[in-house]
Chain A
Amino acid sequence: MRREIPMIVAFVAGVIIILEFFVPALTPVSSRIQNWYLVVVAFAILVGAFNLLRLNYMKVRHRRTDWPFAILLIVGFFTMALAGLIGGIDEGTAFDWLFNYFVYPMSSTMFALLAFFVASAAYRAFRARTVDSTLLLAAAFIVMLGQVPIGSIWVPSWWPFFLSPDWLKDRIMDIGNTAGQRAILIGASLGVVSTSLRILLGIERSYLGEE
């Protein structure tokens, strides 16, 4: 029964939500199921927070690598939680101040790293070692040239329009790129249907630990 009950729950909930897409009268039932999911998620947040605190406490207790950072995490966790619980989370509260001057800048710093990683990844990807990577390099060069103002400024009036970076960029983005993205989306959508059917019918049971 340990495996049968989750499979029955997955089947019933899945079938109702799929049918609701076609049968409007089932919307109240489907909404109720989704509300139950939200309740489960709310309780799971407590499980996650407990897991985070327990692991970091163990790290400090056993003086594992970089354990002082674990103290920082525990202090930060309780500071934010207490600030939110006591003063609320509205504008001008302590929580809001901590969010704006600690959490937000730290997130922005991590996001900003992306600029450097794009440069290093582009350097590797655009090295013209094979035909594929040379084509990628050429396409990227044309698209980048077409995106910036200087790309169309340097083109003299007698230059054929179908060789201008602007025109070529539009063709690459609208035809090649869009077609590729749609192909991926069609394939992925079919994969979604197939995976959903396998789970609903109980054929895919790896999430229950059974071959």
Chain B
Amino acid sequence: MRSALVAIGWCILVGAAAAQTLHTAASVSAADTPEDAGGSIDVAWEASPDEAGEVFEVLGYEVWRATSATGEYRKVADVEPGKKSYQITDATAETGVDYYYKVKVLGEAFGEKMDADTAPRGPVSASPQWFRAGRLNMLIASIILATFILLYISKARAGQKLFIRRIAGLEAVQEAVGRATEMGKPVLFVPGIADIDDIQTIASVTILGRVATMIAEYDAELLVPCARSLVMATAQEVVKEAYLEAGRPDAYHRENIRYLTDDQFGYVAGVDGIMLREKPAANFYLGTFYAESLILAETGHSIGAIQIAGTAMPSQLPFFIAACDYTLIGEELFAASAYLSREPRLLGSLLGQDWGKVLILAFIILGAVTAFVAQFGVEIGGYSINLAQLFEVK
């Protein structure tokens, strides 16, 4: 009797569920992904009302695509439930092809699985855009900065005398090379562990060119262990050209610019080995460094070498400052080649860069002041000014 009642109750519940249908996803839209190179379409929808209901359990959503409204649909995405609204990017779309999209809700009630399709949305096609409007501020800032730099380069070209502040680390380069020459020991130049596509490595290689010319003139020995093959190949060419320019092609030894390994700590072991065997009198660490910075700098310190480091990695700078004699901090690394060359056009670019810094500083101060006023408001001559209200800052 009891089991018969349970069976009847179960039938009533299943019947009630069957009487109700699973709701489809609401407000489905399909549109070309904005500010991209084409090849993708954004599909968005709001959750099925059944996600909040008690009869059905929504198991998920599927996004289906076809090239005609009544054509054969192909699944392009599975989406987990649990949000109020959803958006997926179909990155498999072809540029210029018309597509139709459907969103299928997958549900379950009393062990019965069911689904509900939306009507097709479309046609929609992917297309490339010509400008990323969201990056307009970056474009304006880049143009202003480039204008400053080019303006001061042209001023320098015209012969205007430019003042560049003294950078102690770069003043010490000549002293370091001279010391190595006097002691009859080599100079070790470590160009970091990043590849040549890293701007810090490029800056390092440009400095290597200047330092190598100096070394060739002083007739000292230069060692350049590299962690990347392409950096080695570039460094070999740069050093060869520097020796040629200094009129000392005979002093150039290709094998002194060598590849060790791509492995971070394998490279450190190799460079430490070179330091302990060759006992260089001057060590340069210029480029991108990570955890190996302190291991290298402390080993260099233990052999009594004069050490000049430079990196734009804020987390490694304290280690270099603690263990090296001179450290080029951030922008000084990028200024080094221009500073060492003393060429007016290159120095002009440094001055342009400084004016860019002044502009950014002005904007930071302006931002801080407006944020302060927006937060607390000010009263001037009986008038209360609250920027939060003025600009509707919430």
Contacts and interface: CB of A to CB of B under 8 A. Distances in A.
Given A25-B37, A48-B232, A191 B337 contact: no
B314 A181 contact: yes
B145 A114 contact: no
A65 B38 CA distance: 59
Contacts of B232: 47-48, 51
A210 B241 contact: yes
B199 A194 contact: no
B202 A191 contact: no
Contacts of A198: 338, 346, 349
A194 B244 contact: no
B356 interface: yes
A209 B242 contact: yes
A52 to B, nearest CB: 5
Interface in B335-394: 335, 337-338, 341, 343, 345-346, 349-350, 352-353, 356-357, 360
Contacts of A120: 298
A25 B32 CA distance: 14
Interface stretch (A36-44, A83-91, A149-157, A159-167): A36-44
Contact of B132 (A24, A108, A211): A24
B306 interface: no
Interface residues of B, number: 87
B85 interface: no
- Centre residue among A49, A106, A111, A204 by max chain B CB count within 10 A: A204
A202 to B, nearest CB: 10
Given A107-B265, A204-B337, A207-B234, A23 B242 contact: no
Given A44-B233, A117-B294, A193 B145 contact: yes
A103 B323 contact: no
Given A110-B295, A188-B331, A45 B353 contact: no
Contact of B199 (A26, A103, A195): A195
Contacts of A21: 132, 135, 138
B258 A106 contact: no
Contact of B37 (A24, A107, A191): A24
A41 B230 contact: yes
A132 B327 CA distance: 16
Contacts of B237: 209
Q: How big is the A interface, by class?
A: 35 or more
A173 interface: no
A208 interface: yes
B291 A114 contact: yes
B317 interface: yes
A203 B337 CA distance: 11
Contacts of B135: 21-22
Given A25-B130, A206-B238, A209-B244, A195 B202 contact: yes
Interface in B126-171: 128-132, 135, 138-139, 142, 145-146, 149-150, 153
A36 B387 CA distance: 51
B77 to A, nearest CB: 22
Interface in B94-140: 128-132, 135, 138-139
A99 B312 CA distance: 32
Contacts of B323: 117, 121, 124
Nearest to B207: A206
Interface in B233-261: 233-234, 237-238, 240-242, 244-245, 255, 258-261
Contacts of B238: 206-207, 209
A40 B228 CA distance: 12
Interface of B: 35-38, 128-132, 135, 138-139, 142, 145-146, 149-150, 153, 195, 197, 199, 202-203, 205-207, 209-210, 226, 228-230, 232-234, 237-238, 240-242, 244-245, 255, 258-261, 263-266, 268-269, 273, 277, 291, 294-295, 297-298, 312, 314, 317, 319, 321-323, 329-335, 337-338, 341, 343, 345-346, 349-350, 352-353, 356-357, 360
23 contacts: A22-B138, A23-B131, A23-B132, A25-B37, A26-B37, A28-B37, A46-B229, A48-B228, A49-B229, A110-B295, A111-B265, A113-B295, A114-B294, A117-B298, A121-B298, A188-B330, A188-B333, A191-B331, A191-B332, A192-B312, A197-B150, A198-B338, A211-B341
List the 5 closest A-B pairs by CB distance, nearest first. Answer: A209-B241, A48-B229, A191-B334, A27-B37, A206-B209
